[in-house]
Amino acid sequence: MKEIYHLPTEQIKLTHVLHALSDQTRLRIFLKLKNIGEHSCQDLDVSMAKSTLSHHIRVLRESGVIKIRSEGTQRFVSLRCNDLEARFPGLLEVILSASEPF
C-alpha cells in the first residue's frame, strides 16, 4: 500500500491551515476529531458522498491539520494537535473558541 505523505511540522503554513478550516464541512470534521479523537474515515458519520469526504480529508491532510494512519484496509484520521501547537501556539484554542456557537 502506498505510504501517505504528511508535511513536516516546520513546513505547515498558517495560510493553508486557515484556508482548510474556512470551509464549513472541514471545520465540522475538525471539531468532530477534536471531540472524539482518532476515528476511521468510514465512521466519521458525515452525510456526503464518499468522494466529497475524500476531497475534504485530502485538503485537511495536505494543509497539515490532520494525519492519516493505515491499518489493514482501514484508514484512521486524527488531528495533528501537537504539531499545530508547536508551530502556531494558541491557534487551536482560538479556532475552538471562535467556532463555539458552530
| 2 assigned to some structural domain | no
Q: Among all chains, which residue has been given the C-alpha cell 475524500?
A: 54
pLDDT of residue 102 exceeding 60, the answer is: no
User: What Rg, from alpha-carbon coordinates, does the chain have?
Assistant: 13
Kindly state the average pLDDT of the residues 24-33.
Answer: 92
Give the confidence band of 84 by pLDDT, cuts at 50, 70, 90. very high
* Within-domain flag for 88: yes
pLDDT, tens digit (0-9, with 9 covering 90-100), for 33-71: 998 899 888 777 778 888 899 999 999 999 999 999 988
Side-chain-side CA neighbours of residue 96 (13 Å): 11
Q: Is residue 3 part of a domain?
A: no
Q: Could you list the residue range(s) of the whole structural domain that residue 54 is in?
A: 9-95
Tally of structural domains, the chain: 1
Tell me if 15 is assigned to some domain: yes
The pLDDT of 81-89, averaged and rounded, is 96
